[in-house]
Structure 1
Amino acid sequence: QLSCFCAFISGLHSSRSRFVCYLVNYQEINVIRCCTFVDVVGVSNFTSLLLSSEDNMLYVGAREILFALNLSDISALTWKTPDRKREECSFKGKDLQTDCFNYVKILLRINSTHLYVCGTYAFSPVCAYIVSSTADFSLVKSDTGEIVTEDGRSRCPFNPEYKSTAIMADGELYAGTVSNFQGNEPIIYKSLSQGTALKTENSLNWLQDPAFVGSAYIQESQPKGNPVGDDDKIYFFFSEAGKEFDFFDNTIVSRIARVCKGDIGGERVLQKKWTTFLKAQLLCSLPDDGFPFNIIQDMFVLTPSPEDWESTVFYGVFTSQWYKGASGSSAVCSFTMGQVEKAFNGRYREVNRETQQWYTYNHPVPEPRPGACITNAAREQGISSSLHMPDKVLNFVKDHFLMDSVIRSQPLLLKRNVRYTQIAVHRVQAAKKAYHVLFIGTDDGRLHKAINVNNKMHIIEEMVLFRDSQPVQNIELDTEKGKLYVSSFSELVEVPVANCTNYQSCGECVLSRDPYCAWNGKQCVDVRLAPPRNTWQHDVDEADTSAICNKTLQSPRLAKPPPTRMSSCQVIIIPANTFKVLPCKLRSNLAERKWEFSESAGHFHYPSPEGGLVVVAQADRQETYECWSVEEGFRQLLANYCVRGEARRESTTLTGRSRTPQVSQEEFIILPGETRSPQITTKTYWNELIVVCALLAFSLVVFSLFVVYRNRDHMKSMLKEGECPNMQQKKPRIAGKPAENLPLNGNAVTASASDHKGYQTLNDNYICSTPPHECSSPDNSKSFSESEKRPLNLRESHVEISPTCPRPRVRLGSEIKDSIV
């Protein structure tokens, strides 16, 4: 086990305070801590958590290994995949390094002595039994020493990335997963009993590519002897494609589905299929414009007691497939059992099989009510089980499994740029009433602790749980011990539900609105860890500090000290006419920072962007600066500084004059977060000057290159003038060799040549514009230009050789252009 300490960090805009958890070594396990860390080298994918109240153990399922944890011991059990299975998995096209392992996906208690576990087993799901006694933690084996296993299909997914859920109710396993290798046959399955296994009907499209996030067992038959005589129900929570919204492509909706525990299928219709399967839509949307958070990420079902199941509240975490304002927003919504019951007792929807359009069914429904459990009213009609249901009722259920009513809710908590992944809710009994405290995990490994007060959410604190920013995958809440067990991909953390020692004053304790904490007159204490006293006080609803903190002894943090009390301030000595930043960190993000100083300070100060105060020291003067935190009328002194400026003194040395101030070593002041330094550091701008000069030089170079590039054509024309005379000097013609007076083909030029097809103009990289007086003969000194826009007459084209500039020139009609061979 690893202990850790908590450090205060500000910056969360919607929370009171933010305490960040840092992990340290294996020592000091009994000190006050915010979390305990469990790490095993080489173990990853903590996919399953089971908190067992029977033996006070935490069971953890990971990749090819399981753990049994308590306060004094850790037991490990390996469950590896054989090499043969891994080779088969690789042959099927799966990754041997990631997919072809045994990922534990189901870990449930089946009775007081055994656990039921299922794993992917290299894309061949298998289930087994584990002995969970204090002296033994091992897989159940046969007489031959082989592990007793069962087929895991329809119970455990093939792919470890697939979202599934499972729950145990009276020895029966209810699972929501997929039943085939491809993952395209979703199923809600009931098994493990001596009776017939039940499942959903795939041909009727009861499920549309669902992603299961949770399930719950609610004993609606309680209390025993009630007049309704209803059956217990199993609820499933998932998101799927909403086929009823045909005007949108790939619209995802959140669902709640239920089945009855006593369902055993139909006799002639829906044999070995659910006869009580119904589903309804969950909608978490904004109140102003109805923007939907349509993808459910997790659901926590809070039931006060089995007998008080009607007070059940469903807390869900939702995200949206669309963006509004900021990406990655999340919302927390709650639904009551009354809303759920009203939806499942309302009207049905039916689908037109030809057009696939969904409509509200407004016609009479058969009796007993389709999809309902067996109640006393049905028993009076001679229907004691689903096998006795009339065929017309079961045929109606086959096509009317979707409810028309939408279970709506508005977000209790809305966070921008935060993606919530898991949620757990604790019902806390305070001095006057009970409160629901929410623990919400994020995709970057943080935990938000929030409370719902008067329909307003207050984030009490935020904790960083993991060393790496990994998504929170599972949260298990131990209400008796007040512990949270949070797992990620490779880490497992234990976190107490409260850490009241972080609040250092009466105002902080009351303003936190933490129902776990109360002020006893001297300090903030956890009300669960000590016997109750009459002096304990807290006000979660109003957070009135004046009614509580004024009754206690005033401390230096609660009363404003007199300005003349110089012993309480931190003396800071700096050279005159230099500035210093005075830090002031708030302990609450809902508080306001207020600086107070004497009138003589004048205008030699201004606030810094970080919330501090920049002060300029004046020669031979001392000013007092106080930083106060103000929140809902509560004032708290955070920092008190006495800034003294010393005039610069000139002193003659061997090398010349020095203008450094004469400050003794005893006058150095160490600020919070700083270390003692033998020199006084003042602000200089040498680095800034170097950066500015470098940027200016770079800008000039870029501008020069840009000017050269824009005028490249003009510069080329200037450089190429006079190229023809130079060429004649560099390349003299060989004596005795006749000059070329004919075209290259050696034939005489005839203007009416029938095979003349024109000339192709060649791109000469070193061609120049020859001046007329250099490259023209006296006889041919006329300047030609194109006087009219007309096609060139190829019959009038021929080649001319000038004796002055022996470069061939092409005559194209009335134009003469240079050419090169």
Structure 2
Amino acid sequence: MKRIVLIYAIFARDFQLVLSVVLKDTPILGSEKNNPRLLTKDILSNGFDYIISQNHSVFFYQEDYEDMYVGGTDFVLKLNGEDYRVIEKYPLKTTGQQQCQEGLCGNVITIIEKFQDSLFVCGTNSYRPQCWKLFSSANNQSYEIVESYEGTGISPFEYTQNYVSLTVEGDLYSAAPLDTDGSSLQFRRKAGSRTNVWMYDNWVSEPTFISASWVKRLEDPDNEKIYIFFREKNSDTNPEADPWISRVARVCKVDEGGSKRFFQNMWTSFLKARLVCGFPDESLYFNRLLDIYVMHAEKWRDTRVYALFTSSWNATAVCIYTVGMIEEIFENSTFKGYNKDIPNPRPGACVKNSRSLPLATVNMVKDHPEMSDWVHSVHTKTPFYTSNYNYTKIAVDRVKGVDEHMYNILLLATDSGKIHKVLEAGSQPFIISETQLPSSSRIQSMKLDPKRKKLVVGFSEKVSTVDLQRCQEYNKSCQECVLARDPYCAWTKSGCKPTVPGGIQNIMDGKTDVCPLEEKKQERRKKRNTFPASPADLRADHAVPLGVPFYLSCPIDSYHATYTWEHGGQRSPCLQMQTNCLHLIPSMEQDSYGTYKCVSKEKGFTKVVKNYQLMEQKIAETTTDSEKMDIPNKRNDASAFVPQIICITLGQAVAVLGML
């Protein structure tokens, strides 16, 4: 009883202070900016648990491969493409008698790629990187290893070291350390039908490679480029300068290196430019590139690059670029540090025989590979999206709406295991939802399955899937389905369902006037006949004595809505407690009784979330004859009733406070 009285004292003394602690990392009501509309806890039914927790995992999925592959320590798993169950395990343990360094034993799989006619797998192999080709067996149900290769320069020596890989038309491109300490890191064409080529050491300074992507040009394959995204040490030694600077570089797919007498086996087409994300007018930039997602388009210039950045002030941002914009800089910018006539052919140009390039062109690439101009984002003056959430990974899905338009959905993973679903509709982001994944560990890997509209997420203890079509979350009415602005979902005669022709949506602004007029009249009947009311929808009656404190609570359905409490013609604001709105009555008086309504309003749509009816509880009804002698004292001592009242009405709040 003392503990419950203390809880009441805390609430009564400084309610807002308690809320400020409880609401840490919880969205604030009534604002769309940087605020998820809906919070959900995902029940992940598909996937599997590892037998032993993994320090590192890597995913491989392509739509022409029906299945997905997961690499861990000493194994590769083949997952069923429908429900992501494990259907086969391929052991890939350390080969030879390698000696462990600093206790880092085992073969941690770092690369899984489709390479030539096989599945190409590489691992750390206890500090002696090794690669294997896995060919389909005769019955086409499993793989068998028939070839192995030296893996240095393809896989890192340990999984914590930086690396990246890419396969293009039978060629393998990679960046991985050549030395055990993680040094000698550069982007190379390492294996395949074309000549092996590598970088000139002076081109980059302590790089961290993030991603590499091949952009096809069906009408002009000889001009196809490989784009490399990375960050490197900033040459500006000013104490106020950020230590890192983000880059995009490119090389030509047809580049075979220079002639035998100059730049043999070196890229002759390497150019790099600064990738800018920030507020140029304020000279405020997000300089640390974290992750990249490339969304390919039918026209190569329209291919979009979604880049995730962080900053020195612990904020993150997403900037969007097009390959056309990137190419504009590489094709037209001057070269940093060079003020003479630019030789012909222009340095960085793709030619069928790179070994025949004139010395002046190759020398320009050697000594001045950086562009003077910067690559700005589509939105130029600002990032597309900025946030105080610590995002770590990004993927982007493309969804066709009822209006036949395509909408892009950003899927952002936070360092606390949450997934934000963000709509790109025009220049403003709209955070549709936040899903808290049930795991105690950080997200290691994330892969989008656009065909099945799933997001596959890897943790140290398991692999799980997130259903991107969780339309049941908006199933209460047409208005709530439309307000969600979720391109995956539309209102139909059967409720809010995955988008189908003829459904009802308003993705661009979420206004509910697209819903049928009779919807409002029929809403109650539909709820009764089609969607059974949940306990939260029912009216709650309470008998409460005079003179005691009382708290009312209603669930928050949308963090973009505003909530008010209505009683006796008066309105009062909601007091937010995590996923609930509270109303505090410090001491019950005669005019405190009656009907209370918790009302939400969003984009003109108003609804009653919860109804309460408070009635006076007579003291004689709850006391014995001996207790009646002391009724006046009990009327004045509200805390005597606190245990009963708070336990009934603030069970969740008590539990929350108990964890503080």
The alignment's TM-score, normalised by the length of structure 1, stands at 0.67
Matched, 1:367 2:344: yes
For residues 623 and 486 of structure 2, the distance between their equivalents in structure 1, rounded to whole angstroms, comes to: 64
1:449 is matched with which residue? 421
The answer to whether the 8 A contact 1:186-1:207 is kept is: no
Matched, 1:187 2:186: yes
Deviation at 1:193, TM superposition (A): 2.0
1:393 maps to amino acid: T
Deviation at 1:482, TM superposition (A): 1.1
How many residue pairs match? The answer is: 586
The answer to whether the 8 A contact 1:558-1:636 is kept is: no
Matched, 1:289 2:303: no
For residues 440 and 64 of structure 1, the distance between their equivalents in structure 2, rounded to whole angstroms, comes to: 29
Deviation at 1:468, TM superposition (A): 0.7
The answer to whether the 8 A contact 2:444-2:460 is kept is: yes
Match of 1:78 among 91, 110, 119: 91
For residues 127 and 223 of structure 1, the distance between their equivalents in structure 2, rounded to whole angstroms, comes to: 35
For residues 338 and 522 of structure 1, the distance between their equivalents in structure 2, rounded to whole angstroms, comes to: 43
Q: Classify 1:419/1:102 alpha carbon distance in 2 versus 1 (closer, same or farther; 3 Å).
A: same
For residues 107 and 452 of structure 1, the distance between their equivalents in structure 2, rounded to whole angstroms, comes to: 31
SS of match in other structure, 1:554: helix
Residues 361-400 of structure 1 mapped to structure 2, 5 A cutoff? 361-374=338-351, 384-400=352-368
Deviation at 1:629, TM superposition (A): 0.5
Matched, 1:12 2:5: no
1:77 maps to amino acid: Y
Match of 1:347 among 333, 345, 350: 333
Task: State the structure with more CA Rg.
Answer: 1
Residues 104-503 of structure 1 mapped to structure 2, 5 A cutoff? 104-112=109-117, 114-132=118-136, 135-141=140-146, 148-202=147-201, 205-220=202-217, 222-223=218-219, 230-243=222-235, 251-267=243-259, 268-286=261-279, 289-305=282-298, 308-320=299-311, 322-323=312-313, 328-350=314-336, 359=337, 361-374=338-351, 384-409=352-377, 410-416=382-388, 418-432=389-403, 433-470=405-442, 472-503=443-474
For residues 609 and 302 of structure 1, the distance between their equivalents in structure 2, rounded to whole angstroms, comes to: 39
Residues 630-645 of structure 1 mapped to structure 2, 5 A cutoff? 630-645=601-616
Instruction: For residues 556-591 of structure 1, give each alpha carbon's deviation from its aligned partner in whole angstroms, at most 9, with x where no partner exists.
Output: 5699xxxxxxx9632111222323211022210010
Deviation at 1:159, TM superposition (A): 2.6
SS of match in other structure, 1:402: coil
Deviation at 1:649, TM superposition (A): 2.2
1:21 is matched with which residue? 42
SS of match in other structure, 1:341: helix
Instruction: For residues 374-431 of structure 1, give each alpha carbon's deviation from its aligned partner in whole angstroms, at most 9, with x where no partner exists.
Output: 2xxxxxxxxx411111122112211011111111233111111x21111111122213
The answer to whether the 8 A contact 2:36-2:433 is kept is: yes
The answer to whether the 8 A contact 1:617-1:643 is kept is: no
Deviation at 1:290, TM superposition (A): 2.8
Superposed CA RMSD: 3.0
Q: Classify 1:247/1:338 alpha carbon distance in 2 versus 1 (closer, same or farther; 3 Å).
A: farther
The answer to whether the 8 A contact 1:43-1:62 is kept is: no
The answer to whether the 8 A contact 2:411-2:421 is kept is: yes
Deviation at 1:683, TM superposition (A): 5.8
The alignment's TM-score, normalised by the length of structure 2, stands at 0.83
Structure with the larger RCO, 1 or 2 (CA within 8 Å, 6+ apart): 2
1:682 is matched with which residue? 645
The answer to whether the 8 A contact 2:418-2:437 is kept is: yes
Residues 487-526 of structure 1 mapped to structure 2, 5 A cutoff? 487-503=458-474, 504-521=476-493, 523-526=495-498
Deviation at 1:201, TM superposition (A): 1.9
For residues 652 and 406 of structure 1, the distance between their equivalents in structure 2, rounded to whole angstroms, comes to: 79
For residues 682 and 441 of structure 1, the distance between their equivalents in structure 2, rounded to whole angstroms, comes to: 40
Q: Classify 1:19/1:505 alpha carbon distance in 2 versus 1 (closer, same or farther; 3 Å).
A: same
The answer to whether the 8 A contact 2:543-2:617 is kept is: yes
1:387 maps to amino acid: R
For residues 621 and 183 of structure 2, the distance between their equivalents in structure 1, rounded to whole angstroms, comes to: 86
Deviation at 1:682, TM superposition (A): 3.4
Instruction: For residues 710-747 of structure 1, give each alpha carbon's deviation from its aligned partner in whole angstroms, at most 9, with x where no partner exists.
Output: xxxxxxxxxxxxxxxxxxxxxxxxxxxxxxxxxxxxxx
1:95 is matched with which residue? 102
2:496 maps to amino acid: C
2:5 is matched with which residue? none
Matched, 1:573 2:566: no
Matched, 1:612 2:582: yes
2:582 maps to amino acid: G
Deviation at 1:655, TM superposition (A): 4.9
1:344 maps to amino acid: F
Q: Classify 1:582/1:231 alpha carbon distance in 2 versus 1 (closer, same or farther; 3 Å).
A: same
Q: Classify 1:660/1:478 alpha carbon distance in 2 versus 1 (closer, same or farther; 3 Å).
A: farther
Residues 654-693 of structure 1 mapped to structure 2, 5 A cutoff? 655=626, 657=628, 681-682=644-645
Q: Classify 1:61/1:609 alpha carbon distance in 2 versus 1 (closer, same or farther; 3 Å).
A: closer
The answer to whether the 8 A contact 1:102-1:120 is kept is: yes
For residues 625 and 266 of structure 1, the distance between their equivalents in structure 2, rounded to whole angstroms, comes to: 80
For residues 256 and 563 of structure 2, the distance between their equivalents in structure 1, rounded to whole angstroms, comes to: 66
SS of match in other structure, 2:226: strand
The answer to whether the 8 A contact 1:574-1:680 is kept is: no
Match of 2:50 among 40, 44, 51: 40
Provide the identity percentage: 29
SS of match in other structure, 1:649: helix
For residues 650 and 59 of structure 1, the distance between their equivalents in structure 2, rounded to whole angstroms, comes to: 67
Residues 697-716 of structure 1 mapped to structure 2, 5 A cutoff? none
1:781 is matched with which residue? none
For residues 72 and 241 of structure 2, the distance between their equivalents in structure 1, rounded to whole angstroms, comes to: 37
Deviation at 1:115, TM superposition (A): 0.5
Q: Classify 1:300/1:422 alpha carbon distance in 2 versus 1 (closer, same or farther; 3 Å).
A: same
For residues 350 and 238 of structure 2, the distance between their equivalents in structure 1, rounded to whole angstroms, comes to: 32
The answer to whether the 8 A contact 1:620-1:645 is kept is: no
Instruction: For residues 214-257 of structure 1, give each alpha carbon's deviation from its aligned partner in whole angstroms, at most 9, with x where no partner exists.
Output: 1111113x225xxxx74221111111112266676772101111
Deviation at 1:334, TM superposition (A): 0.5
For residues 586 and 252 of structure 1, the distance between their equivalents in structure 2, rounded to whole angstroms, comes to: 42
2:521 maps to amino acid: Q
For residues 454 and 258 of structure 1, the distance between their equivalents in structure 2, rounded to whole angstroms, comes to: 29
2:655 is matched with which residue? none
2:510 is matched with which residue? 543
1:311 maps to amino acid: D
